[in-house]
Amino acid sequence: MNKLELLRTFVRVSEVSSFTLAAESLGLPRSTVSEQVRALEQLLGTRLFNRTTRRVQATQDGTLLYERSKDLLSGMDEIENLFRADDADLTGCLRVDMPTMMARRIIIPALPQFLERFPRLEVEISCTDRQVDLLREGFDCVMRIGALSDLDVVARPIGQLSMCNCASPAYLALHGVPQRLADLAAHRLVHYVRNLGARSAGFEYQHAGKVHCQAMAGGVTVNNAEAYSAACLAGLGLIQVPAVGVAEHLQRGELVAVLPGWQAPAMPVSLLYARQRHVPRRVQAFMSWLAGLLASQVDAAADES
């Protein structure tokens, strides 16, 4: 019986409050997860979870064990790599989440370099524009673009992405090129919201150190960065997007930058990871590589702050 594996399974169930979700993330049958938790309970002589048909909740003993187990497992990861001076000897699996646009355009194309340097590591990449729960969903590291609301994790600032107002040539030929804010009354905006049903803030711009929003008409609302750019390419309206995400379209003339004096504020880029005493070396290695990769994409001034 591998006691560390029992603890890893227990910690995962605690984080997601579900045997089924824990089994999916661990790549194990649900029955195996249940058996491992029961084995741990028998080994310790205490009940770790209260189970109902709707939820799994840690008992008082389970909560105490969870806090101790996180430090113990993190320490074991550190010990396993303690005497491996060569980066190539780092082992394990990294589970990371990042915005779709950043993954497709920047990170995944450069990933062979990382895996060549760390050939024994495995990387699981989740790409989504929603704000995932790093702890509950079991991620080692999350890249977040925008304001942070995660108070129980550690944030490593990387820099900021400058914004760009764009439209397609076809759209501008039909509606004209806006030269000032007042011109927006005759234009349409592709609205972006995190959750469909929410209200779009409208056209955002920064003036005299303050952020302002101007309501605009628009027939399309999306909640995904790729769909946002696609809607603009299709001539459905103006968009406001990090410049790095549309650089290729601008270079090829598929999109045109407009209203350069009325940009939305730059968006901060951060790497989030769990608050723990020892951050595993494989996680440190990935975050350092990622920070170096993004150094050429973020604003230099923000990188120094």
Give the least confident one: 12-21, 102-111, 230-239. 12-21
Percent of the chain with pLDDT strictly greater than 70: 91
Give the least confident one: 14-28, 138-152, 193-207, 290-304. 290-304
- Better pLDDT: 104 or 88: 104
- Better pLDDT: 304 or 76: 76
Q: At residue 299, what is the residue type?
A: D
- CA separation for the pair 248, 215 (Å, rounded): 29
The domain that contains 219 carries what CATH number?
Answer: 3.40.190.10
Cβ proximity of 123 and 94 under 8 Å: yes
User: Would you state the structure tokens that stand for residue 219, as one six-digit string?
Assistant: 């027939």
Query: What per-residue confidence (pLDDT) applies to 289?
Result: 94
Q: Of 15, 45, 80, which marks where a domain is finished?
A: 80
Query: What per-residue confidence (pLDDT) applies to 259?
Result: 95
Long-range contacts of 171-174 (CB under 8 A, 24+ apart): 171/232, 171/235, 171/236, 171/237, 171/238, 172/256, 172/258, 174/235
The domain that contains 69 carries what CATH number?
Answer: 1.10.10.10
> Mean pLDDT over residues 81-93, rounded?
67
| Whether residue 131 is found in the same domain as residue 184 | no
- CA separation for the pair 19, 33 (Å, rounded): 7
Query: What per-residue confidence (pLDDT) applies to 172?
Result: 97
- CA separation for the pair 270, 291 (Å, rounded): 9
**Structural domain includes residue 215:** yes
Report the candidate in 27, 94, 286 with the shortest Cα–Cα distance to residue 5: 27
> Mean pLDDT over residues 60-75, rounded?
80
Q: Does residue 166 register a pLDDT over 70?
A: yes
| Whether residue 188 is found in the same domain as residue 117 | no
- Better pLDDT: 73 or 286: 286
> Measured on CA atoms in the order 241, 243, 245, 248, is the torsion positive or negative?
positive
Query: What per-residue confidence (pLDDT) applies to 86?
Result: 62
Q: Does residue 115 register a pLDDT over 80?
A: yes
- CA separation for the pair 242, 248 (Å, rounded): 12
How large is the angle between the packed helices 243-251 and 225-233, nearest 10 degrees? 30
Please spell the DSSP secondary structure of 24-60, one letter per residue: HHHT--HHHHHHHHHHHHHHHTS--EEE-SS-EEE-H
| Whether residue 226 is found in the same domain as residue 187 | yes
Give the chain's domain count.
3
- CA separation for the pair 302, 183 (Å, rounded): 31
Query: What per-residue confidence (pLDDT) applies to 24?
Result: 85
**Structural domain includes residue 262:** no
Q: Within 13 A of 76's CA, how many CA atoms are on the CB side?
A: 11
Q: At residue 121, what is the residue type?
A: L
Whole-number Cα distances in Å, 265 to 30, 204, 240, 271: 46, 8, 10, 20
pLDDT one-digit tens code per residue, 167-209: 999 999 999 999 999 999 999 999 998 888 888 889 999 988 8
Q: Does residue 83 register a pLDDT over 70?
A: no
Report the predicted TM-score, pTM, of the whole model to 2 decimal places. Answer: 0.69
| Whether residue 228 is found in the same domain as residue 276 | no
Which residues on adjacent β-strands are paired with residue 143? 271
Q: 259: burial class by Cβ within 10 Å (0-12, 13-18, 19+)?
A: buried
Query: What per-residue confidence (pLDDT) applies to 301?
Result: 44
| Whether residue 172 is found in the same domain as residue 242 | yes
Task: Give the residue numbers spanning the domain of 282.
Answer: 87-161+267-304
**pLDDT band with cut points at 50, 70 and 90 for residue 302:** very low
Cβ proximity of 238 and 258 under 8 Å: yes
Q: Does residue 305 register a pLDDT over 70?
A: no
pLDDT one-digit tens code per residue, 131-153: 888 877 778 899 998 888 766 78
pLDDT one-digit tens code per residue, 227-284: 999 999 999 999 999 998 898 999 999 999 999 999 999 999 999 988 776 778 888 8
| Whether residue 133 is found in the same domain as residue 275 | yes
